[in-house]
Amino acid sequence: MIVEGGAQQSEIFANRLCNHVARYSFSMLPNGRKITSSFGVALMREHETIWDTAERADIALLGVKRRGRNRVAVEGFEFRNVSHFDYLLTA
């Protein structure tokens, strides 16, 4: 999914998705089990293919999954204050 906006907006959006998925009751799951989700967010750089961006978002996702469930990772802390770029969100 491509989200237009800054890293902070993308991180907020991904955290909202995590929360909605975690709270949703899936009737097909046995014994009231829940589903969690984690997301990786990466800045789409100039002259970069979407596949390159997806790879970096996936790396961020793998890193956050190692720390637990239901989390969001923004690739590259230096991008947190950047705005008006395209970000790729992977789950």
pLDDT, position 79 = 41
pLDDT, position 63 = 87
Contacts (Cβ under 8 Å, ≥6 apart) of 10: 3, 41, 74, 87, 89
pLDDT, position 87 = 52
Of 2, 15, 10, 12, which Cα lies nearest the Cα of 83?
10
Residue ranges and CATH numbers for the domains of the chain are 2-90 (3.30.70.270)
pLDDT, position 75 = 85
Residue 88: phi and psi, rounded to 5, are -105, 130
pLDDT, position 19 = 94
- Over its length of 91 residues, how does the chain's per-residue pLDDT go in tens digits? 666 777 888 889 999 999 999 999 888 888 878 899 999 988 888 888 889 988 988 988 988 888 888 999 988 754 444 444 455 555 5
The token duo for 17 is 């998705």
What is d(CA 68, CA 70) in angstroms, rounded to the nearest whole number? 7
What element of type H or E holds 41?
Answer: strand 39-43
